[in-house]
Structure 1
Amino acid sequence: MRKKLITIFIALLTILSISAITSKPANASSYGKIGHVVSPANMRGKWRYVGSSTLGQKTYKHYKVRIGKNHVNGTVLYQADPSVTSKYAKNYKKYHFIIDQTMNWGNATIFNRNGIQWLNVKGWTAGAGNGTYYGLVNRIHHGRPTTALAIAIGYKPTIVAYAYRVSRPIHHYHEITETDLHNQF
């Protein structure tokens, strides 16, 4: 019995020593992630807007946008290396496991255009499309000038909705007019 215990102990010790020698530290793959993107401080918070049919939403419902330091609506904002991420969309069958693991990652950029600071959020492995843009603009709301979060989409971003920072549910706002669409970039 004693000989058997000594043999088992030596075998376990041998296995542990071999695994300690050959093991490497576990590194989670970055999948082209360069670093976090920090959203502008004045955009952070909870915003509400009336749905837009252009966004595929019901125009009679209210929707929320939550912008945090490193996330928008639960999508974590990172800066991506396009040379790495572009191959994922081209070869879905080969890289489907990466696409599944990065579903809540967003490729984000911040830029200024016509005096508006925009936050652009795209899908991590998106092969086409330019994602959703968020920018702060001044609008007249209930007869008072106020800051609104413009939500835009498309290659040449077109504003499709305006969100307002309010604590209670909003009432239905006027539809976006043709002049709003032409007063873009």
Structure 2
Amino acid sequence: MRIKKWAVIALFCGIFLTGCSKQTASKEASNSSNKSSQSSKSSVKKTSKASSSSAKAVKLDAAKLTPQESGSLITLYCADRFGGEWSNLLQAGQNGSLTITLHKTSDYEFKQPGSGYAYEAAASGQTGTTYYTLSGSTFYFYQGVKVAGSGSFLGQATKQEMADYIVKKGQLAEFKQLAKKVEIVDKSGQTQRLSEGRSGYFTIPAEIQGTWYSASNYDGETTHSKYVFGQSTIFIQDDKYDTKGTTTTLYTRLSDFKMPLPPTEKQMDRVKGWGLGHLYQQDGLNYMNVMGWYQTAGSGTSFAVHTENIAGNNVQILVCASGARPWVDGIAYRSQAMAEKMQDQHFDDLHYRDDE
């Protein structure tokens, strides 16, 4: 059969057009694939940039840290870099709290005395052996420090170097948590060249600090007392026996101190107004005990903050106790009005001397 010329032409054109159509589709598919690939590469680049940006965002700006955050930073850095006493300090801080106390560097003999201050890092209520000084932008670290001593020099670093270090170690969460537990105390105006076996000032727990009032009936008369607790001092006054009030300054004692037995009258006069403070737990209460500096008999006086439910409200009270157990002698309150209202009130969960 003969095929007409126009049919051949039409057939040829059809094949050609079909081929063109396939090539066009192939090119479009190829272009689409290339665009997809380029889009994917672009996405990877963007993700990479985002990741890089995220990494940069983690940077800790040391210049913007608060004093508490700086104390946390230094403790974490030194514990990881040097271990030893700094590591023990970190553990104590994580389980409780830390106190950074400022002293005069002139009271010490550090290798790098720094510019004005010696910073004592210690578990709250304790005397520290870990210190640091600052000169310009560089911190110098020590351990094994005694009052008026030098200790062992460990190393040095700038605050930004320490910040970069803990970020690299992934310790930001620990840093933030520890910073909440740091207290700053300035004792740079007080001399640290202590005598008679004193190793430093005893820090009264924060929950006890402040003013408390009590009212008790003795021989048919009500006696009002006031207790004022500072960082290391206790002022006690009443309106019957000690109207002017008495102040006691609390210290910690050197472990190798040999107490004079018996102390001379001159020695007793020299330590008048000094107290030895320490913390202990008894009957579920966290007590602070105070004894005379040369006291060898008796158990001293103990104080603890406790919460009682009074008229449907949780109220903090100050338990004042003495003796070996110890036994409760009285209760103080944050206001004079509450003390008057609750005069000589006994609480069932406390152990009073007249209960025995």
TM-score strictly above 0.5: yes
For residues 129 and 98 of structure 1, do their structure 2 counterparts lie closer, same or farther at Cα, with a shift above 3 Å needed?
same
For residues 119 and 166 of structure 1, do their structure 2 counterparts lie closer, same or farther at Cα, with a shift above 3 Å needed?
same
2:317–2:332 CA contact under 8 A, matched in 1: yes
Structure 1 position 59, deviation (Å): 5.8
Aligned counterpart, 2:222:
60
Aligned counterpart, 1:78:
251
Structure 1 position 144, deviation (Å): 2.6
* Counterpart check, 1:158 vs 2:320: no
Aligned pair count?
Answer: 151
Secondary structure at the counterpart of residue 61 of structure 1:
strand
Instruction: Measure, in 2, the Cα distance between the counterparts of 1:106 and 1:85.
Output: 16
Instruction: Measure, in 2, the Cα distance between the counterparts of 1:29 and 1:70.
Output: 15
* Counterpart check, 1:110 vs 2:279: yes
Question: Counterpart of 1:80 in structure 2: which amino acid?
Answer: R
Instruction: Measure, in 2, the Cα distance between the counterparts of 1:29 and 1:171.
Output: 41
For residues 166 and 79 of structure 1, do their structure 2 counterparts lie closer, same or farther at Cα, with a shift above 3 Å needed?
same
* Counterpart check, 1:140 vs 2:330: no
For residues 118 and 60 of structure 1, do their structure 2 counterparts lie closer, same or farther at Cα, with a shift above 3 Å needed?
same
Among 198, 216, 236, which residue is 1:51 paired with?
216
Q: TM-score, normalised by structure 1?
A: 0.68
Instruction: Measure, in 2, the Cα distance between the counterparts of 1:144 and 1:158.
Output: 25
Question: Counterpart of 2:208 in structure 1: which amino acid?
Answer: M
For residues 34 and 166 of structure 1, do their structure 2 counterparts lie closer, same or farther at Cα, with a shift above 3 Å needed?
same
Which structure 1 residue ranges, 5 or more long, are not aligned? Answer: 1-26
Which structure 2 residue ranges, 5 or more long, are not aligned? Answer: 1-191, 236-246
Q: What per-residue deviation string (whole Å, max 9, x for no partner) do you get for residues 48-76 of structure 1?
A: 012376xxx98611101111111112211
Question: Which deviates further from its counterpart, 155-164 or 106-115?
Answer: 106-115
Identity %: 22
Question: Counterpart of 2:351 in structure 1: which amino acid?
Answer: L
| Relative contact order higher in (CA < 8 Å, ≥ 6 apart) | 1
Q: Flag the structure with larger Rg.
A: 2
Instruction: Measure, in 2, the Cα distance between the counterparts of 1:58 and 1:122.
Output: 30
1:31–1:85 CA contact under 8 A, matched in 2: no
Instruction: Measure, in 1, the Cα distance between the counterparts of 2:201 and 2:220.
Output: 33
Instruction: Measure, in 2, the Cα distance between the counterparts of 1:168 and 1:182.
Output: 23
1:110–1:117 CA contact under 8 A, matched in 2: yes
1:140–1:146 CA contact under 8 A, matched in 2: yes
> By percentage of residues, which structure has more helix?
2
Root mean square deviation of aligned Cα: 3.1
Q: TM-score, normalised by structure 2?
A: 0.38
1:135–1:150 CA contact under 8 A, matched in 2: yes
Q: What per-residue deviation string (whole Å, max 9, x for no partner) do you get for residues 119-160 of structure 1?
A: 101001112111110001112345532010100001120011
Aligned counterpart, 2:42:
none
Aligned counterpart, 1:129:
298
For residues 134 and 75 of structure 1, do their structure 2 counterparts lie closer, same or farther at Cα, with a shift above 3 Å needed?
same
